[in-house]
Amino acid sequence: MIAFDVLHADDSDGDAELTRRAFAKSDGTIRVHRVVNGSRAIDALRDVVPRLVLLDVNMPVMGGVETVRALRADPRLTAVPIVMLTASEAEREEAMRAGATDYLIKPVSFGALIALVEKLARLARGSE
């Protein structure tokens, strides 16, 4: 039973695979849609409003900070949490000012992703 859609925008295949493996531990309650840049993320959000958006800060075509600003300008998406994946403190601060809800520092550990998945799975089951 899919109860939770996540949009993951990241141009790194390695990071995307780590995220896919972590979310696979959700017992099928969380479905991840992956795109490779912010422009594709905006296109994907025309069809699905996820419960969470994971955005890499540094992507080609349209980066994460620019994408956050665009998503926050869409009234359908103002309440959707956006977690930024960033490699530096300066990027984190810029992402938070742009409207990100939270951040994870890259390289993201498998344990940090599992903790996020477990929290989201509990939310999907309605136990939080």
pLDDT band at 116 (very low <50, low <70, confident <90, very high): confident
Kindly tell me if the per-residue pLDDT of 124 is higher than 60.
Answer: no
Task: Give the residue carrying structure tokens 């959000």.
Answer: 45
Is the distance from CB of 7 to CB of 33 less than 8 angstroms? yes
- Per-residue confidence (pLDDT) for residue 127, from 0 to 100: 47
Higher-pLDDT residue of 7, 112: 7
Give mean pLDDT, residues 98-124.
76
pLDDT (tens digit per residue) in 9-47: 999 998 888 888 888 877 777 888 999 999 999 999 988
pTM listed for this prediction = 0.85
Q: Which helix (H) or strand (E) holds 128?
A: none
Q: Which domains does the chain have, with CATH numbers?
A: 4-125 (3.40.50.2300)
pLDDT (tens digit per residue) in 53-97: 999 989 899 989 999 999 999 999 988 889 998 878 788 888 899
List b or e across 34-62, with b for residues whose CB sees 16 or more CB atoms inside 10 angstroms. bbbbbbbbbebbeeeebbbbbbbbbbeeb
List b or e across 102-124, with b for residues whose CB sees 16 or more CB atoms inside 10 angstroms. ebbebebeeeebeebbeebbebb
